[in-house]
Amino acid sequence: MKSKKKNFIHENQKSFFFNDFLEHSQKNKKSNKSKVHEDRLYVLFSFFFSLILIFSISIFSTSIQESNFQGYKKKNYNHPLLRRDILDRNGELMARNINSYHAIVKSDLIKNKENFILKIKLNFPKISTIKLKKKLNYKKKFYLKRRLTENEKNKLWSLGEKGIILEPFQSRVYPHGQLYSHILGQIDDDNYGISGVESYFDRELRDRQKLKKPLVLSLDSNVQFLIKTELKKAMKDFRTNSAGGLLMNVKTGEVLSLVSLPDYNLNIRENISDIKYMNQITKGVFELGSVFKTFTIALALEENILSPETMINNIPDNIKCSTHSIGDIHDFPESLSVEDILIRSSNIGSLMIARQIGKTKLKNFIEKLGLLRVVDFELEEIGKPHNFKWGKCKLETVSYGHGITTTPLQAATAYASITNGGYMVKPTLQLRKNSNFENRASIVSKKTSNQINKMLRKVVNEEKGTAGNANIFGYDVGGKTGTAKNYKKNKKSINTFISIFPANKPKYVLLVILDDPKGAPHLNYHYKGKSALNISRTEAGWNSVYVAGKIIEKIGPILAINNNEVHNTHVVKKNN
């Protein structure tokens, strides 16, 4: 019985383990399949996770680079400006610092150098391909081009080359380009002024406490443009080598316009060494001829030696002075009044008046007018009158403007001082609000000033005057011509006309100077109310005077409007 029981139990156990084994075996099979499936999932998951991780890292890296670049840009772009703006008297922008770029090449980032050189050649033909190839092979990093224009920057950007780095920096831009080339000047790569106003006012323009406050000049961009346009046309009409113009307020000395041609674009940084680009008005030193007769006669009137009506009798055709013979270009009567000597521009008449004045007094007056010293003006480019000794015949030749040199700026300033009531003015490019004469040195009396103004008006509006082509209706123009020889240029002429308007109470002095003008028979002159054609004369009355007339005709309305606005402003303030 026991044996049977054991067998039974054994059989039952055997049966039990067998069933359990089968069940366990089936579970193991399922488990193995599940593990394989899970492994595959893990592999796929790992693969996709790796891809996501790679892309994430790439995106993160790019974002960091972009962030750094933006930060760098922000750091540079938000950096305080290094120089102040420059404005004209009307608030017109003349100069400003902006963010710009240099183009740098990193050679190791350029994969296809031949293709790169080809691209640069197509887009920048002025860049030497030979030098570029050499730099690519031997330099790891170099400047491809400095001071990119917006168009150049876009061209380089569109090339898609990783090896081109755009380096930001602050550059100076001049919105008017060539209009103020002889006034504003330029700055160097470190934002320091190297010429013109930029150099003269360098410290003020870089003053951190004033960076938000622009430097305002006395210049008027509208007037500057009109004067330049007429002078440019004059160079073509009269085939001159150069031309210059200056407009000044006779009371304040403020320069509203200063033009010298030929000029150049301030935004294009080039080394200009040709003397023809010299500032004719401030740097040029010339014999200006008969414009000096006004100074001689003004002194004679001031010293009560003569009056405008005084007759100078027995005027010879020529006078011997040392080894020189002095004469007049035209024939004049034997007797002329003092004002007729100025109106008709007689050399001999001026000489005879000077002899009555005497060398000492004339010398002192010329020096008092500041014609022989270096002028104090807000530009670095200032000419120095030639050394002058009052030797033999100097009294005689100075009386009519020969043998003595000065700059056009100084001559115009002297005219302003004589015609404004007789008070010395200092030429300036700074805007002045105060025009009182209380603390200014007297040059001549108000009586003498008024007498000179009347004579200068007659030079323009009388039949025998030399400046009839400037008699513009409504502007009461007065002035004096000067035709002199430029002995450094094979005796070619320097023609000048210094005008004042309105002559009854002058507000402005306008100087026009032309270098070696030729005849212009194609022009239709309106001379003394009549039309004149086929005139080929080369005296100042037929070129500098003509140009001044055209200029006054153009700028007169602007100046009249500005004066009315100023007057109305004062009236309103007074009424309030």
First-last CA distance in the chain: 142
pLDDT at 432: 81
pLDDT at 66: 42
Q: What is the mean pLDDT of residues 201-215?
A: 95
> What CATH fold (topology level) applies to the domain 86-216?
Penicillin-binding protein 2a (Domain 2) (3.90.1310)
Which one, of 350, 233, 251, 267, lies nearest residue 96 by Cα?
Answer: 267
* Angstrom distance (rounded) from CA 365 to CA 358: 11
Report the 3 state secondary structure along 278-320: CCCCCCCCECCHHHHHHHHHHHHHHCCCCCCCCEECCCCCEEE
Count of beta carbons in the 10 Å neighbourhood of residue 8: 10
* Angstrom distance (rounded) from CA 297 to CA 352: 11
What percentage of residues in the chain have a pLDDT greater than 70? Answer: 82
Kindly report, residue by residue over 213-266, the tens digit of the pLDDT: 999 999 999 999 999 999 999 999 999 999 999 999 999 999 999 999 999 999
Instruction: Tell me which amino acid residue 206 is.
Output: R
Spatial CB neighbours of 169, under 8 Å, sequence gap ≥ 6: 76, 99, 100, 101, 102
Instruction: Tell me which amino acid residue 118 is.
Output: L
Q: So where are the chain's domains?
A: 86-216, 226-262+278-575
- Average pLDDT value for the chain: 86
* Angstrom distance (rounded) from CA 51 to CA 45: 10
pLDDT at 330: 87
What pLDDT band is residue 567 in, cutting at 50, 70 and 90?
Answer: very low
Range in 142-151, 243-252, 287-296 with the lowest mean pLDDT = 142-151
Kindly report, residue by residue over 377-416, the tens digit of the pLDDT: 999 999 999 998 888 899 999 999 999 999 999 999 999 9
pLDDT at 100: 87
Total residues belonging to the chain: 576
Q: Within 78-128, where are the H helices?
A: 113-123
What is the helix (H) or strand (E) element at residue 321, kind and residue range? strand 318-321
pTM as predicted: 0.80
Distances from the Cα of 361 to the Cα of 170, 310, 356, 554, angstroms: 55, 20, 10, 40
> What CATH fold (topology level) applies to the domain 226-262+278-575?
Beta-lactamase (3.40.710)
pLDDT at 540 over 50: yes
CB 424 within 8 A of CB 417: yes
pLDDT at 325 over 60: yes
Which one, of 200, 248, 251, lies nearest residue 227 by Cα?
Answer: 248
